[in-house]
C-alpha cells in the first residue's frame, strides 16, 4: 500500500500535478514506511506554502526515528532547509542560522554532487537577507563557477548570474552588474529578466542608448512577457 501511494504520488508529480501529489504524499506520511524520508523530501518540494516549524520538526523527528542510522538523507536535509527557510514563525536570525547549518554540509567536496550547487546558491540568498552584500557578490560569483553536471545545475547557475548582477546593482556597481547579466544564456528562461535589469542598470549609468537597445531586444526576445 505504501509503495502504491508513493508511485501514484510520483506519477502525479511527473505529470505536473502538485496538488494531487501532495494529497497522496500526505497520506503516505501518516504511515510508518521505509519510504518516509523519500516521501517527505518530495512533499516538502511540492508544498510551497509557508509551513509551521512545529509540524515540520515533528515530521523530521519521525524521519530520524524510522531511519536505521538516525540521520537524514542529503535530499531530505536540502528539502528541510528550504522548507525551514519558507517558514514564517521563527525569528529571522534564528531561522537563517538553522538553515545555514543544514546547507553547509551539502556544499562540502565529498557531499552529494547533485545538491552541491543548489545548496550553495541558497547560502548566497541567506547572505543577501542578512544584508552582507559584498560577501553575497563574491559567493554568487563562486556558485556560477561551479561545474555544471545536469539541467538543475544549469538553471541554478543562471539564477546565480542574475543574483550576482542584482547584488552588484544594489551596491551601485552598474558596469559589473551589466557584465554579470550578460552572462545569462539567450536560451535561458531568465534571459528576459536579465535584459530588463540590464536596461535599468543602463538607466542608472545615464546611458539611454544602451538602455533602449536592451529594451528593444527584450521586446523581440519575449514579446508576450509581462516585462
**Phi and psi at residue 185, in whole multiples of 5°?**
-65, 145
Cut 0.85: pTM above it: yes
pLDDT in tens, 25-80: 999 999 988 899 999 999 999 887 766 788 889 999 999 998 888 899 999 999 99
Q: What integer pLDDT is reported at residue 144 of this predicted model? A: 94
Question: What's the pLDDT band for 136 if we cut at 50, 70, 90?
Answer: very high
Mean pLDDT of the chain: 93
pLDDT in tens, 144-181: 999 898 999 999 999 999 999 999 999 999 999 999 99
Amino acid at each position: 500500500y505504501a509503495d502504491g501511494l508513493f508511485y501514484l504520488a510520483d506519477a502525479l508529480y511527473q505529470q505536473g500535478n502538485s496538488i494531487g501529489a501532495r494529497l497522496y504524499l500526505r497520506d503516505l506520511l501518516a504511515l510508518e514506511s521505509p519510504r518516509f524520508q523519500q516521501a517527505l523530501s518530495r512533499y516538502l518540494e511540492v508544498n510551497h506554502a509557508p509551513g509551521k516549524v512545529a509540524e515540520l520538526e515533528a515530521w523530521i523527528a519521525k524521519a530520524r526515528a524510522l531511519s536505521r542510522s538516525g540521520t537524514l538523507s542529503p535530499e531530505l536535509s536540502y528539502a528541510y532547509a528550504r522548507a525551514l527557510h519558507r517558514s514564517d514563525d521563527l525569528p529571522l536570525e534564528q531561522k537563517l542560522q538553522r538553515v545555514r547549518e543544514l546547507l553547509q554540509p551539502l556544499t562540502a567536496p565529498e557531499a552529494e554532487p547533485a545538491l552541491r550547487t543548489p545548496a550553495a546558491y541558497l547560502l548566497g540568498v541567506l547572505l543577501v537577507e542578512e544584508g552582507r552584500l559584498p560577501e553575497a557578490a563574491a559567493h554568487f560569483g563562486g556558485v556560477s563557477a561551479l561545474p555544471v553536471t545536469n539541467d538543475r545545475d544549469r538553471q541554478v547557475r543562471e539564477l546565480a548570474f542574475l543574483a550576482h548582477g542584482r547584488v552588484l546593482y544594489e551596491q551601485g556597481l552598474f558596469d559589473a552588474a551589466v557584465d554579470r547579466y550578460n552572462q545569462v544564456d539567450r536560451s535561458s528562461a531568465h534571459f528576459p529578466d536579465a535584459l530588463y535589469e540590464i536596461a535599468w542598470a543602463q538607466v542608472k549609468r545615464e546611458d539611454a542608448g544602451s538602455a533602449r537597445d536592451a529594451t528593444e531586444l527584450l521586446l523581440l526576445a519575449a514579446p508576450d512577457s509581462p516585462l
